[in-house]
């Protein structure tokens, strides 16, 4: 990569990041603040997020994610039928009606996968599929140790994104340029930068 192309790539990335909000990503957790499952959801998402709860005034700003830590069998059946029981489920239904996707960390019915009759499991799986068609889907909780980036310029935002996914290694193209802030961020987060 020649110097002029590198300068243009750095300038474009800086302009892109300057144009973005510096505020941490906002996550609306639809649950009680004291609920252990809500705290577990916060821990799964990791640092670098602003967590909001139904009893808080979100103020201005876009909430990027809406998360339900736990969906009981009863609430799942109600939601699949287009009903909401209680204030928290009403917030879930309101988000879905507004076209905003909602993620579920844990479905109660999956605890019984080894013991429940096949017919019940099919019923619950059908309800989960119906909810997915409404915009209510499982939260991706998979953590990857290694993440590959195929960009000519690796920035601090790329490293932070890998850290949010739980990565311990970031694989880069052999000729990728890495900003000093990205190197520092990787060191702080314990992420190894590997070329090749």
Among 138, 165, 182, where does a domain finish?
138
**Tokens for 190?**
């314990």
Instruction: End-to-end CA distance of the chain: give it in Å, rounded.
Output: 16
- Are 74 and 36 contained in the same domain? yes
Residue 45 has pLDDT above 90, yes or no: no
**Tokens for 65?**
């994610």
**Tokens for 24?**
């941490």
- Are 182 and 131 contained in the same domain? no
DSSP state of 20: S
- Are 110 and 147 contained in the same domain? no
Residue 14 lies in a domain: no
Exposed / middle / buried, residue 126 (Cβ in 10 Å: 0-12, 13-18, 19+): exposed
- Are 162 and 73 contained in the same domain? no
Q: How many domains does the chain have?
A: 2
Residue 1 has pLDDT above 80, yes or no: no
Residue 158 lies in a domain: yes
**Tens of pLDDT along 170-186?**
988 888 999 999 999 99
Among 138, 162, 181, where does a domain finish?
138
Predicted confidence at residue 96, as pLDDT, reads 92
- Are 37 and 121 contained in the same domain? yes
Residue 170 lies in a domain: yes
Contact 165, 143 (CB under 8 A): yes
Predicted confidence at residue 127, as pLDDT, reads 95
Q: Which domain holds residue 179?
A: 143-195
**Tens of pLDDT along 51-69?**
889 988 776 666 678 999 9
- Are 163 and 130 contained in the same domain? no
Quote helix, strand, coil % in the chain, to nearest 5: 45, 20, 35
What mean pLDDT is reported for the chain? 85
- Are 117 and 150 contained in the same domain? no
CA 135, 137, 140, 141 dihedral sign is positive
- Are 31 and 56 contained in the same domain? yes
- Are 55 and 93 contained in the same domain? yes
């Amino acid at each position: 990569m020649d110097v002029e192309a590198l300068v243009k790539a750095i300038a474009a990335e800086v302009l892109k990041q300057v144009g973005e909000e510096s505020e941490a990503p906002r996550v609306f957790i639809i649950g009680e603040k004291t609920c252990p499952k809500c705290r577990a959801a916060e821990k799964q998402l990791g640092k670098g997020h602003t967590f909001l709860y139904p009893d808080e005034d979100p103020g201005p700003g876009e909430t990027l994610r809406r998360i339900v830590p736990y969906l009981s069998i009863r609430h799942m059946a109600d939601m699949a039928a287009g009903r909401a029981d209680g204030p928290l489920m009403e917030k879930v239904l309101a988000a879905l009606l507004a076209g905003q996707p909602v993620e579920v960390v844990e479905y109660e019915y999956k605890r019984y996968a080894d013991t429940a009759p096949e017919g019940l499991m099919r019923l619950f799986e059908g309800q989960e599929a119906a909810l997915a068609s409404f915009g209510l889907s499982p939260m991706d909780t998979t953590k990857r140790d290694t993440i590959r980036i195929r960009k000519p310029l690796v920035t601090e935002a790329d490293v932070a994104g890998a850290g949010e996914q739980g990565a311990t290694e970031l694989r880069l193209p052999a000729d990728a340029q890495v900003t000093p802030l990205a190197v520092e961020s990787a060191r702080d987060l314990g992420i190894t930068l590997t070329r090749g």
